[in-house]
Structure 1
């Protein structure tokens, strides 16, 4: 099959996932479960599944659902998730975002498929495919075979303003570039609250959240406002103030190609992108100085 039939990538940004129920029933899908899912699909889903089997013979499709988004079929292949049109010709890898409900539909499914190892920036791994079916093995939500080595990012050019400091003052310091409408950022925030770390949070708006970031930054109690924002609660004691520090955060993010959230930076400059479970976070943070 020609690589032309693989459509380019959707670049919609991640958004928060509401509470997900029944994840365990989805995570354990194996060969038998996949066969059962495919066997009970609607005729339209079965038609697309048959087309994919012919066009992607090396891809083990677990599930096809053409009822999620009008005109698109959501395809589950192991721990990967991608989309095709109903003709089964055009393949799309990336995020589907419901702007009415403000929900990242892709993120919700990815957490169901693989909640413990989900990496928020995994969609970036779609570049540089080496074969026709290679994008499917590196798509959004794919699990790396080994932990990626941290990159490095110098924060010395950032001003002291624009930061919201919270957590344990005596703990090791991590800087987090985040968006208050990003589900992975909320999950990361909740995890960091359970750890002995000092967090320097620098909001950047990748989901149209700048107004919310302004309110949090200008609140009398920024830490309290930060957690209220992630929880979707009304902000108490919000005010107005100089938000040029937030402008600096966004300028820095653009200059360094930080197009997704969260981005986690250790005190020694080591950087990782995306959400990590608590154990992985602890190991990463332990590798840096206080």
Structure 2
């Protein structure tokens, strides 16, 4: 299980492009690297890339780490950079990964999701990776989802049985996906009620479980905004609406 999660994150990271690396003038890149090598010759310095802050450049070191440097390489900062967005701070490095997540989520057919539509006009959509035996998933379904749909958010459920494919949780959630009334079956399971076991051929649960690993899900509920931002864990409706700019 852990290996699958690591592979999923590795796939995302490998797909993330360098951030405007080609836009860094050669003389600035050379000056930064020369200054850093003079200070720490034992380190392996890689690409110099632009950052969202003018005059501050991202420099990759030792393969997987990075720091930020001034244009002359004399001053450096180590640590994560965040972008302030409504209701949250988002790591800048995650913004590129979010584009990959969005592309992956856009490839999922609506017919393979269990969708709770907006009550009136749809203003936004929220993807939710869920497990029917997860306490906070049940709380989200009972308390948050009704408020979201009333506020114009379409909630799109995807399956993520934490115990894995073939587990009792998998059989339960697959039975919801295979039911004639998917919404009713999923709601019953989240209310701790039994539904007839019906694991039909060709159900999308295993594929969605793998998709979850690819986009970085390591627990449930896991929420993905339309722009690909990943939000782990339970969130109340008011917080989510603020993040989506709907309140």
- TM-score normalized with structure 2 length: 0.51
In our comparison, the structure showing a higher alpha carbon Rg is 2
Return the match for 2:145 from 192, 215, 221. 192
Q: Is residue 211 from structure 1 mapped to residue 171 from structure 2 by the alignment?
A: yes
Tell me what 2:245 maps to. Answer: 286
Tell me what 2:39 maps to. Answer: none
- Counterpart CA distance in 1 for 2:109 and 2:125 is 17
Aligned-partner SS, 1:268: coil
Runs of 4+, deviation exceeding 6 Å: none
Output the aligned Cα RMSD: 2.5
Tell me what 1:234 maps to. Answer: 194
- Counterpart CA distance in 2 for 1:176 and 1:268 is 14
Give the deviation of 1:160 after TM superposition.
4.2
Give the deviation of 1:157 after TM superposition.
3.9
Q: Is residue 173 from structure 1 mapped to residue 129 from structure 2 by the alignment?
A: no
Aligned-partner SS, 1:193: helix
Aligned-partner SS, 2:177: helix
- Cα 1:161–1:243 shift into 2, 3 Å: farther
Q: Is residue 201 from structure 1 mapped to residue 157 from structure 2 by the alignment?
A: yes
Return the match for 2:90 from 134, 149, 165. 149
Tell me what 2:79 maps to. Answer: none
Q: Which has a greater percent of helix?
A: 2
Tell me what 1:266 maps to. Answer: 225
Q: Deviations over 1:219-272 (max 9, x none)?
A: 111111111010001226x64533442121011122233121111112222221
- Counterpart CA distance in 1 for 2:202 and 2:189 is 17
Tell me what 1:123 maps to. Answer: none
Asked if the contact 1:162/1:249 (under 8 Å) is kept, the reply is no
Asked if the contact 1:175/1:265 (under 8 Å) is kept, the reply is yes
Mean Cα displacement is larger for which, 171-180 or 264-273? 264-273
Q: What is the aligned residue count?
A: 142
- Counterpart CA distance in 1 for 2:137 and 2:199 is 24
- Counterpart CA distance in 2 for 1:261 and 1:185 is 7
Aligned-partner SS, 2:154: strand
- Counterpart CA distance in 2 for 1:268 and 1:164 is 20
Asked if the contact 1:161/1:245 (under 8 Å) is kept, the reply is no
- Counterpart CA distance in 2 for 1:156 and 1:216 is 22
Give the deviation of 1:181 after TM superposition.
0.8
Give the deviation of 1:200 after TM superposition.
0.8
Aligned-partner SS, 2:90: coil
Q: Deviations over 1:124-172 (max 9, x none)?
A: xxxxxxxxxxxxxxxxxxxxxx834275222134344531111326332
Q: Deviations over 1:49-72 (max 9, x none)?
A: xxxxxxxxxxxxxxxxxxxxxxxx
